[in-house]
């Protein structure tokens, strides 16, 4: 029997799966990777086919060696200690090490003589790598891959973005873009922020564009507790989170993007759109360069249009979302929503101009039909 | 479509084998392009981890490539590919549980797939659902994901997982009962006053 609560969860999970669906570029990249793996895989298998009984012995040896390596990698990966600055340290042998704070989540996915893969799930890691041309050292953060070219570098994985800063040497970064994976080389002193997942359209024209998450800030988790608004907000208990915030006259919200976004989520989800808009404006005023700013502007636009009945201001907010990241994954939706906002404001010529701009930028855009209908039938 | 045709044994077995061997790369590439996105989605639904889902795709098609000779009908290869994917996903899930048990590894991070571009509303829903699935026995998890996220029929779930129809029904029902109870408990908790 159908249960609305379960149905709602299933629909959200399906939506997320659709959002992660592979693009043709992703299929192409994966095919190339498979070919490469097959090339290295095939000779081994041919040799195995001719080896007969001797192979069984060799396989046992290989298994033993593999087991030993696995054990070694497991134990190496757990060689963790602290340093004077309070950072955790993970030694990967041969003078290669990772230092990270308590909030970082790191996993050594692979460690062999030819390849080391470290997955940075979240937080910041500082990598000091002894360069070895026979070995690939890769840090994977979402869909961003950083390969060392002999160096020391930081990788910060936040929801939606990955920041790479090079201290010494250089790194090669591959990151997802609309046209497929792109590569960049960063040298000492360089830094860059990359999307951690492929830029992708949102679910449909009747929905607000999906937004980047509210990332936890480094000091958030230390204060998580039953009376802590942040813990409540992250657990989805927005009403109670907002009550705590409001009781303290919002003084408990730190002036930094993560906290402002989390608090605005709590306010928005607990039906306090005006307060949420205020928090988003504060973020946009103080942190316009933050990678989360475009999403904040978009959310603000949505609040102004849908909840606060201020379509003109909404159009301005959507325009700002687009201006902050004209090639970001919200840009297309921002133009479309600004058309909708102008239409609601009764500004037909502006709405029509917006549709024209949308058509030029996205001739096969998924909102085009809806926008044309909107302007054609005001 | 340019998938490998069924060879007709009119010119001798050797020439047929050569012909198949010559065409094989085209066939597997076609197979990959056609089914890899579905395997990736299935992998993500099962494993709830983007990198692991990508790895799963590679493993599935490496296996498929090796066994491509034995594939009678590449045009109808979807169930075959999906069965490999489910088998490998099952292995990964069991290994993950074991690793967690042995090494007390941390809980998985569902933010990764729930996060990067989702509305907070959806994020919470997805996170709750995946946390419940993560605690579920592997077979029940497979059954539920295939039936409710992948929208497979009960018959298809049974065939893909190598179960009898009654086993598939029992597992789907059991999994869905758990999911429903736990989601309702969470929702009730959130809606109750402070």
Nearest CA in chain A to B190: A237
Do A166 and A251 share a domain, yes or no? Answer: no
Do A325 and A274 share a domain, yes or no? Answer: yes
pLDDT the model gives residue B172:
95
Return the number of CB contacts < 8 Å for A and B. Answer: 146
Low pLDDT (below 50) residues in chain A: 71, 73-85, 200-226, 377-378
Whether A302 is in a domain gets the answer yes
Whether A167 is in a domain gets the answer yes
pLDDT the model gives residue B152:
92
Whether A102 is in a domain gets the answer yes
Whether A368 is in a domain gets the answer yes
Which residues from chain A sit within 8 angstroms of residue B40, using beta carbons?
Answer: 20-22, 26, 30
- B109–A10: do the CB atoms touch at under 8 Å? no
Residue B115 to chain A, least CA–CA distance (Å)? 5
Report how far Cα A363 is from the mean position of its chain's Cα atoms.
Answer: 27
pLDDT the model gives residue A294:
82
pLDDT the model gives residue A21:
84
Whether A151 is in a domain gets the answer yes
- Burial of A177-197, coded b for 16+ CB within 10 Å and e otherwise, reads ebeebeeeebeeebebbbbbb
Residue B169, H or E segment = helix B165-191
Alpha helices in chain A (DSSP H): 4-19, 24-77, 229-234, 238-247, 257-269, 273-286, 293-302, 311-324, 331-344, 348-361, 368-376
Question: If we measure between CA atoms, which residue out of B130, B108, B107 comes closest to residue B186?
Answer: B130
Phi-psi region of A158 (alpha: psi -120 to 50; beta: other; left: phi over 0): beta
Whether A8 is in a domain gets the answer no
Which residues from chain A sit within 8 angstroms of residue B50, using beta carbons?
Answer: 20, 142-143, 197
Do A159 and A283 share a domain, yes or no? Answer: no
Do A230 and A355 share a domain, yes or no? Answer: yes
Question: If we measure between CA atoms, which residue out of A234, A125, A211, A109 comes closest to residue A160?
Answer: A211
- A200–B114: do the CB atoms touch at under 8 Å? no
Which of A35, A50, A78 is the last residue before a domain boundary?
A78
* Mean pLDDT over the full length of chain B: 77
pLDDT the model gives residue B108:
61
> What are the distances in angstroms from CA A179 to CA A192, A267, A269, A273?
19, 37, 35, 36
A3, A9, A160, A207, best to mutate vs chain B, most B CBs in 10 Å:
A9
Instruction: Please name each of the domains of chain B with its CATH number.
Output: 1-106 (1.10.1740), 111-194 (1.10.10.10)
User: Hey, is A42 helix, strand or coil?
Assistant: helix
Which of A59, A78, A97 is the last residue before a domain boundary?
A78
Report how far Cα B94 is from the mean position of its chain's Cα atoms.
Answer: 14
CATH number of the structural domain spanning residue A231: 1.25.40.10
Do A365 and A234 share a domain, yes or no? Answer: yes
- B112–A121: do the CB atoms touch at under 8 Å? yes
Nearest neighbour of A159 by CB, restricted to B44, B116, B149: B116
B110, B117, B152, B172, best to mutate vs chain A, most A CBs in 10 Å:
B117
Do A170 and A156 share a domain, yes or no? Answer: yes
pLDDT the model gives residue A204:
38
Nearest CA in chain B to A117: B51
Whether A236 is in a domain gets the answer yes
Q: Could you give the number of structural domains in chain A? A: 3
Which residues from chain B sit within 8 angstroms of residue A16, using beta carbons?
Answer: 113-114, 118, 122, 126
- B41–A17: do the CB atoms touch at under 8 Å? yes
Is the pLDDT at B143 greater than 90, yes or no? Answer: yes
Question: If we measure between CA atoms, which residue out of A231, A241, A288 comes closest to residue A268?
Answer: A241
Do A370 and A230 share a domain, yes or no? Answer: yes
User: Hey, is B142 helix, strand or coil?
Assistant: helix
Instruction: Quote the domain boundaries for residue A153.
Output: 81-199
Alpha helices in A124-228 (DSSP H): none
Do A60 and A86 share a domain, yes or no? Answer: no
Do A122 and A183 share a domain, yes or no? Answer: yes
Q: Which two structure tokens, joined as six digits, stand for A376?
A: 């054609």
- A159–B50: do the CB atoms touch at under 8 Å? no
Alpha helices in B48-137 (DSSP H): 50-66, 78-103, 111-115, 120-134
- Structure-model confidence comparison of residues B139 and A306, the more confident one: B139
Instruction: Determine what percent of chain B is predicted with pLDDT higher than 70.
Output: 72
Do A192 and A260 share a domain, yes or no? Answer: no
Which of A53, A78, A103 is the last residue before a domain boundary?
A78
* Residue count (chain B): 194
Q: ipTM of this model? A: 0.76
pLDDT the model gives residue A48:
65
Which residues from chain A sit within 8 angstroms of residue B38, using beta carbons?
Answer: none
pLDDT tens digits, one per residue of B98-123: 877 776 655 565 555 555 545 666 67
Do A97 and A60 share a domain, yes or no? Answer: no
- A212–B41: do the CB atoms touch at under 8 Å? no
Q: Which two structure tokens, joined as six digits, stand for B112?
A: 């990764």
- Structure-model confidence comparison of residues A274 and B189, the more confident one: A274
Do A165 and A306 share a domain, yes or no? Answer: no
pLDDT the model gives residue B175:
94
Residue B142 to chain A, least CA–CA distance (Å)? 15
pTM, two decimals, is: 0.42
Which residues from chain B sit within 8 angstroms of residue A200, using beta carbons?
Answer: 117
Which residues from chain A sit within 8 angstroms of residue B61, using beta carbons?
Answer: 34
Whether A163 is in a domain gets the answer yes
């Amino acid at each position: 029997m159908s249960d609305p609560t379960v149905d709602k969860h299933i629909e959200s999970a399906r939506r997320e799966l659709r959002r992660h669906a592979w693009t043709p570029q992703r299929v192409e990249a994966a095919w190339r990777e498979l070919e490469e793996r097959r090339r290295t895989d095939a000779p081994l298998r041919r040799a195995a086919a001719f080896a007969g009984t001797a192979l069984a012995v060799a396989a046992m040896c290989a298994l033993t060696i593999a087991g030993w390596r696995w054990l070694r990698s497991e134990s190496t990966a757990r060689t963790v200690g602290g340093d004077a600055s309070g950072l955790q340290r993970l030694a990967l042998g041969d003078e290669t090490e990772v230092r990270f704070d308590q909030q970082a989540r790191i996993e050594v996915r692979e460690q062999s003589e030819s390849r080391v893969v470290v997955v940075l799930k979240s937080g910041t890691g500082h990598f000091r790598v002894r360069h070895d041309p026979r070995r690939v050292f890769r840090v994977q953060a979402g869909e961003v891959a950083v390969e060392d070219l002999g160096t020391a570098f930081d990788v910060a994985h936040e929801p939606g973005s990955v920041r790479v800063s090079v201290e010494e040497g250089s790194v090669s970064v591959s990151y997802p873009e609309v046209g497929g994976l792109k590569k960049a080389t960063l040298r000492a002193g360089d830094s860059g922020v990359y999307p951690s997942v492929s830029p992708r359209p949102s679910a449909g024209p009747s929905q607000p564009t999906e937004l980047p998450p509210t990332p936890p800030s480094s000091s958030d988790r230390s204060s998580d507790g039953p009376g802590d608004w942040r813990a409540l907000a992250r657990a989805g208990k927005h009403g109670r989170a907002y009550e705590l915030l409001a009781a303290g006259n919002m003084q408990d919200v730190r002036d930094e993007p993560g906290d402002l976004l989390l608090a605005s989520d709590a306010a928005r989800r607990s039906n306090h759109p005006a307060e949420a808009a205020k928090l988003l404006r504060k973020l946009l005023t103080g942190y316009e360069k933050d990678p989360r700013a475009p999403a904040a502007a978009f959310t603000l636009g949505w609040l102004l249009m849908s909840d606060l009945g201020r379509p003109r201001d909404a159009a301005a907010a959507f325009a700002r979302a687009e201006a902050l990241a004209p090639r970001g994954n919200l840009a297309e939706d921002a133009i479309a929503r600004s058309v909708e906002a102008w239409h609601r404001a009764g500004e037909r010529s502006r709405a029509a101009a917006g549709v024209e701009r949308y058509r030029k930028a996205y001739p096969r855009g998924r909102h085009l039909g809806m926008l044309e209908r909107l302007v054609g039938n005001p | 479509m340019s998938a490998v045709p069924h060879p007709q044994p009119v010119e001798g077995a050797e020439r047929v084998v050569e012909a198949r061997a010559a065409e094989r790369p085209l066939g597997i590439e076609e197979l990959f392009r056609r089914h890899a996105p579905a395997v990736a989605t299935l992998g993500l639904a099962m494993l709830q981890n983007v990198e692991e889902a990508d790895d799963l795709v590679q493993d599935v098609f490496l296996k498929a490539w090796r066994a491509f000779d034995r594939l009678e009908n590449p045009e109808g290869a979807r169930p075959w590919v999906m069965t490999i994917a489910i088998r490998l996903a099952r292995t990964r899930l069991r290994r993950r549980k074991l690793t967690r048990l042995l090494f007390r590894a941390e809980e998985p991070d569902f933010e990764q797939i729930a996060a990067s571009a989702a509305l907070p509303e959806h994020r919470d829903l997805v996170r709750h659902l995946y946390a419940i699935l993560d605690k579920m026995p592997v077979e029940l998890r497979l059954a539920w994901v295939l039936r409710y996220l992948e929208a497979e029929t009960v018959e298809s779930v049974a065939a893909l997982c190598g179960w009898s129809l009654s086993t598939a029904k029992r597992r789907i029902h059991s999994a869905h009962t758990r999911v429903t109870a736990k989601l309702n408990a969470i929702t009730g908790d959130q809606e109750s006053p402070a």
